[in-house]
Amino acid sequence: MAESWFPVPAGSGFPLENLPYGVFSASDGAHIGVAIGDVIFDVHAASRAGLFSDSTLSDALRAASLNELLGLGRKAWADVRSRLQELLASSSPIASEDRANFIVSRDSARMVMPFEVRDYVDFYSSLEHATNLGKIMRPGTEPLLPNWRRLPVGYHGRAGTVVVDGTPVVRPRGQIKQENGEPEFAPTAMLDIELEVGFVTGRGNALGEPVPIDRAREHIFGLVLVNDWSARDIQAWEYQPLGPFLGKSFATSISAWVVTLDALEPYRTAPPKQDPAPLPYLHAAQDWNYDIALEIALRTEKMRGESAEGEVISRSNFKYLYWSMAQQLAHATSNGATISPGDLFASGTISGPDAASYGSLIELTWRGTKPLKLASGEERRFLEDGDEVTLTGYCEAAGKPRIGFGEVRGKILPPR
Ligand code: MN
């Protein structure tokens, strides 16, 4: 890969090989950009300057969200990616004296939602997480229900409350069952996080025509980090018989940068063995897991007061997932349901095999029975007001470019 004319610091997750897409607020409205090093390359400005010859593509790059580009499909995505790599390479056709016109500082940019979320699905695809939750929520029974190894379990969530990195989260109120069995309406006392990765879809399918698993690549544009905030006490009371509802729908946070499948290609890896073998419509010819390191950091009000960094409370990896993105997409459309540009499909909490890799507080503290002891001297069972959670993700291996996701951050505000 060529060097970029823009300096990319050593260890940056945003080299020329990554170029994740985001949308930032510019003086004349929302602009699409890609992250390179510590800056944003203003794709909207590049399009306006005539640097993309195809007019449909050029228009899509001047939209206020990625949805139009998503709808153009994989060939267009590949064309934009290779053109951006040309424009950002040392041999760029952009004259040296003009280059500054296309650069925006990432520190000062205000990122907005990268795409309009059309439909939102959340899966439950980590074997370790599903097993832990089964033990915690239904003690004394078989932790995995009989369908779990047969299909990627999921539910439809609330697209309208998906928010971008940095958006604060107000502690929700809801019905909570008390010890005497009666519900009260109160702020959640069990506010939790879920460490997830989601994929966003591009071109859709026709109603009644499933997406075959080996066509999934044509429909999946890229990935974002997802924090699926959860109120465990509200969830526990409401979730049977129909599934998660208000314990989840108050907010779901995504990272501002969408990392493309193309950028992740060097990190594709073999999936875990599935036993029993899935039904044929869930059998993929190629590997669909990716080696993406994931972390959860927690920064309390006290840590902020002492100017201390957040403390990493878990380290997991996207490669642990039992059900892959291709299987999730094939399953979600297997009944003929449509997908559209901008649908978000989240993985479900990604927990690893050991207790230091669990992706939620309900697992890390075993429903509050084993509080986390933080270096600040504090303890946490669940989130308190003022706590700030940051999820980060990156791919890293010797001889390969580092591919960063950036982060998704959110701070808990008191109930209203
Ligand atoms: Mn979830």
pLDDT reading at 141 higher than 90: yes
pLDDT tens profile 174-225: 999 999 999 999 999 999 999 999 999 999 999 999 999 999 999 999 999 9
Ordered by start, the domain boundaries in the chain are: 21-111, 120-413
Q: Is residue 219 flagged as an active site residue? A: no
Between the CA of 330 and the centroid of ligand 1 the distance, in Å, is: 19
* Ion ligand 1 residue ranges (Cβ < 5 Å): 122, 194, 228
Q: Which of 129, 156, 283, 331 is catalytic?
A: 129
Residue 279 alpha carbon to ligand 1 centre in Å: 25
Using an 8 Å Cβ cutoff, are 109 and 34 in contact? no
d(CA 190, CA 173) in angstroms, rounded, equals 11
Q: What is the CATH number of domain 120-413?
A: 3.90.850.10
CATH class of 21-111: mainly beta
pLDDT tens-digit series, residues 224-275: 999 999 999 999 999 999 999 999 999 999 999 999 999 999 999 999 999 9
CA distance 173 to 45: 44
CA of 124 to the centre of ligand 1 (A): 7
- CA–centroid distance, residue 48 to ligand 1 (Å): 39
What pLDDT is stored for residue 1 in this prediction?
60
Report the separation in Å between the CA atom of 376 and the middle of ligand 1, taken as the mean of its atom positions: 28
Ligand 1 centre from 59 Cα, in Å? 35
Residue 314, Cβ density class (10 Å: 0-12 exposed, 13-18 middle, ≥19 buried):
buried
Fold agreement (21-111, 120-413):
no
Q: How confident is the model at residue 137, as a pLDDT?
A: 86
Return d(Cα 239, Cα 175) in angstroms, integer.
Answer: 12
- Quick: pLDDT tens for 92-122: 999 999 999 999 999 999 999 999 999 999 9
